[in-house]
Chains A and B, each alone.
Chain A
């Protein structure tokens, strides 16, 4: 993409604050100078806007309240992504609240984490992973 289209994209997608107070996030993410987006997807339209049309790659964490490993994976994802200086965002999808989105992306076991870039599914992993595995997954998506 050339510079003019990059600037065009930025004009249509204003930066969100580091912690978006419109969406309830249980864990507050500590950020330094760079902005890091972490948000809960509300519905299909929200997914379209904030994941598919996102200018930066988005890691989507499909989870559920009843899923034990999901509760362990969540903080790990947040910690790793918060260190990427805004190069990637984190979207959380509760599969019970957003069944259609989960069905569309063929989510079966939980947690399922899918990396999106330019509106397309790039990579995916299933289940709780160690930090270094998560880190290389995130790096692969960014680059």
Chain B
């Protein structure tokens, strides 16, 4: 026992020394761009991952560009993943194809299984599965990027639309002494999130693309937008909530001031609760759907059908609901056909409210696009703006520069070597230029002949 303990202690000290020595090598390296790789085998890992020295090991590992662990058991794979996750606090991804990778796949934040030669166990334990390793690039850069933007846009829009809808109900309470009378008919409220505004959001969440897939692959730096989390920051959340509050105020106030107290039709009739509710609700449906049309950047026929179809289906619903006998339609009986539809004021109010509600967001969008454009905006313009001549050289140059920060499709070692050689070339050039400039022959030619006489 004691012998084992002593031997074990010796191995631990040896590993600690190795870790320390490697760290010194990295620190002493002059060229900061030089990438380092760490190679560990299973037996050393067994000791290196023990509680007392794992911090040292992890500190060394994260400074290296890549770490290769060979001959590791499945349990160790899972253990490494867990430790790296905890130590760095970053999002981890694990990819594997065999049953021995299952532990690691489940431990990581995102687990990817490759289906194929070694069976389906990895696939069944994973979050995503791909048939070949090379598809990982597409999964991350294209689908990951799109998914991030889609989810952020969708969530922010969903919050906005429900704020607009809910707050108008609340403002009406202020006019009815908070007695709890509801401005809208019960069925209107059911229809809102179910039919009238849900399909456009689904089309946004499923089909939205800011740039096409080949551009995503050419410019991996766009993926950084997701890593930095710039589309779902607190600023954006509060901005959208503010937009919702402002829109609901505009809708509520405009409808009240436009429709009352004087008559709203040539026949001298005045509005009652049903008319005000209907008109306010119509303006909400229009505003909310036009707002999503402003957010969407990729319009397929599906988006068009869903957005304009939702608005159109609102009128169809009104016609059907109003045609039901008064026992069922109560206040809404024949509301659109008889009362509200023929009144030009109803249609005018919708146009006014929609434009005023969307104006603040439109101005913000214009200013951002024109003077503070984001990466995908610039790339979209480079690709799709017809006035710009697609300069192949510029395109290739930007492609290359975009790979550097992410190091995707990019061999760090090769690039470090290229940089080193460039640096050497530059130094040689400078040396030659300086030596020519300082040579006595040149000095005698270039300076003033009179001066040299001295």
**Binding between chains A and B:** no
Chain B contact residues, CB within 8 Å of chain A: none
